[in-house]
């Protein structure tokens, strides 16, 4: 056998899986479609929000607690700075999804938080043009991760434990064998006892049984130089705003980057092989229109832009599961635009599922079968 486990896709989840598997003494062979350090998948763009009062579903909170601890452990082990704690504010309509959802998670799990009325939002965050009647939830345990550094750190520490990685060598297909799986790439075939599929936006190509549930969406991140108040922007927490039309989110001013802002789910369907990787004037105007409305001083000169891809499920929850077609194959994907923060714990879960066929982590709500 070429290895105990083959990992197909070495982005956020695959790099973490390789790390946890290698640390448990398993031999790992990993493949990626692109060169090491590429930003052509779903993890490029220098920062990803991490937060605990999870409006999406309170069941994510135990996973987030473990993810947070694992990021800190990875920092200690590697000496890298991966997580910057800034606090987070989630604000908008009191009858929307964001504020009630964040509050429900905070209360259900006893997370530190403050509830802010419109006056408190205005007093604390005067850079925003808040709407009368809006409320906010402020949580101290939130911040941002440096995604490229997180992935490289997982890869580097996995290699230190003996993992072997091949870049610019996509897995073309795989099949079940008598005692495991066989993976085909352009250089030949490789046998292993287990396969982890963590191919991000390309997951449907390698996991046909879940492909009908996956849709890929193009999303564009922007960095702007504020017109004024750079210091005040640098003191902002990470934020999410549920506005009248959609969610927007952003980060404090980061030296060398500016302020990063994006909208959530504009609904632009994409094919990962042909996605338009250039930010258009329309992409930019959709974000600037919101800045003029809500955060006007951020509407300064554009510093950069980055096209990225979400892989969505119909209910916006992930799929982390053993594949029905072969119990030696596990898959983690469909992070529906919010999965990076979890990748440290997803790596641990993928290692559990691969080596033990089960995990102690509560992931029942992420099983593929919920989607039929």
User: Binding of ligand FAD at residue 14 (CB under 6 A)?
Assistant: yes
User: Which residues inside 269-308 make contact with ligand FAD, applying CB under 6 A?
Assistant: 308
How many residues bind ligand FAD (CB under 6 A)? The answer is 37
Q: Which of 339, 345, 352, 368 binds ligand FAD (CB under 6 A)?
A: 339
> Near ligand FAD by CB under 6 A, which window of 56-64, 67-75, 200-208, 297-305?
200-208
Cβ proximity to ligand FAD: between 232 and 275 the closer is 275
Q: 5 with 192: CB under 8 angstroms?
A: yes
| d(C-alpha 241, C-alpha 137), whole Å | 11
- One DSSP character per residue, 40-56 reads SSSS-SS-EEE-SS-TT
Q: Which of 41, 237, 263, 347 binds ligand FAD (CB under 6 A)?
A: 41
User: Which uninterrupted H or E stretch holds 223?
Assistant: strand 215-224
Q: Which residue is nearest to ligand FAD (CB)?
A: 11
User: Binding of ligand FAD at residue 354 (CB under 6 A)?
Assistant: no
Extract the tokens encoding 122: 């205005």
Cβ proximity to ligand FAD: between 8 and 192 the closer is 8
Cβ proximity to ligand FAD: between 9 and 136 the closer is 9
Q: Which of 146, 150, 221, 261 binds ligand FAD (CB under 6 A)?
A: 221
CA angle at 139 for the pair 229 and 128, rounded to the nearest 5°: 30
Give the residue from 183, 201, 171 showing the smallest Cα distance to 307: 201
Q: How far is the CB of 119 from ligand FAD (least distance, A)?
A: 28
Q: 153 with 76: CB under 8 angstroms?
A: no
> Near ligand FAD by CB under 6 A, which window of 42-50, 60-68, 87-95, 284-292?
42-50
User: Binding of ligand FAD at residue 9 (CB under 6 A)?
Assistant: yes
Cβ proximity to ligand FAD: between 135 and 260 the closer is 260
Task: End-to-end CA distance of the chain: give it in Å, rounded.
Answer: 34
Give 285's DSSP letter. Answer: H
All residues at 6 or more sequence positions from 10 whose CB lies less than 8 Å from its CB, including other chains:
18, 30, 31, 32, 151, 155, 165, 167, 198
Q: Which of 5, 6, 10, 319 binds ligand FAD (CB under 6 A)?
A: 10
């Amino acid at each position: 056998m070429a290895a105990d486990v083959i990992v197909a896709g070495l982005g956020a989840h695959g790099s973490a899986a390789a790390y946890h598997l290698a640390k448990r003494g398993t031999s790992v062979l990993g493949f990626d479609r692109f060169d090491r350090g590429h930003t052509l998948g779903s993890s490029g763009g220098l920062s990803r929000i991490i937060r605990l009062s999870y409006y999406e579903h309170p069941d994510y909170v135990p996973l987030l607690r473990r993810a947070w601890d694992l990021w800190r452990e990875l920092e200690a082990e590697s000496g890298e700075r991966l997580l910057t704690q800034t606090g987070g504010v989630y604000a908008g309509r009191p009858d929307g999804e964001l504020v009630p959802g964040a509050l429900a998670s905070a209360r259900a799990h006893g997370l530190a938080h403050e509830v802010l009325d419109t006056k408190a939002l205005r007093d604390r965050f005067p850079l925003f043009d808040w709407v009368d009647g809006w409320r906010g939830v402020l949580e101290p345990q939130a911040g941002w991760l440096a995604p490229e550094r997180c992935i490289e750190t997982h890869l580097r520490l996995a290699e230190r434990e003996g993992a072997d990685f091949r870049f610019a060598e996509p897995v073309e297909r795989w099949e079940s064998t008598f005692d495991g799986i066989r993976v085909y790439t352009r250089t030949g075939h490789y046998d292993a006892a287990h396969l982890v599929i963590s191919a991000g936006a390309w997951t449907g190509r390698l996991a046909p049984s879940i492909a009908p549930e996956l849709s890929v969406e193009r999303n564009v991140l922007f960095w702007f130089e504020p017109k004024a108040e750079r210091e005040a922007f640098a003191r902002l927490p990470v934020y999410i705003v549920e506005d009248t039309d959609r969610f927007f989110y952003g980060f404090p001013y980061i030296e060398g980057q500016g302020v990063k802002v994006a909208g959530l789910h504009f609904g632009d369907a994409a094919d990962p092989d042909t996605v338009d990787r250039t930010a258009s004037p329309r992409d930019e105007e959709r974000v600037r229109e919101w800045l003029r409305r809500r955060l006007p001083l951020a509407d300064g000169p554009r510093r950069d832009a980055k096209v990225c891809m979400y892989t969505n499920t119909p209910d916006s929850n992930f799929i982390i599961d053993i594949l029905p077609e072969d119990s030696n194959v596990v898959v983690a994907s469909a992070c529906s635009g919010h999965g990076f923060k979890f990748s440290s714990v997803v790596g641990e879960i993928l290692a559990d599922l691969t080596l033990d066929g089960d995990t102690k982590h509560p992931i029942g709500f992420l099983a593929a079968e919920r989607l039929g």
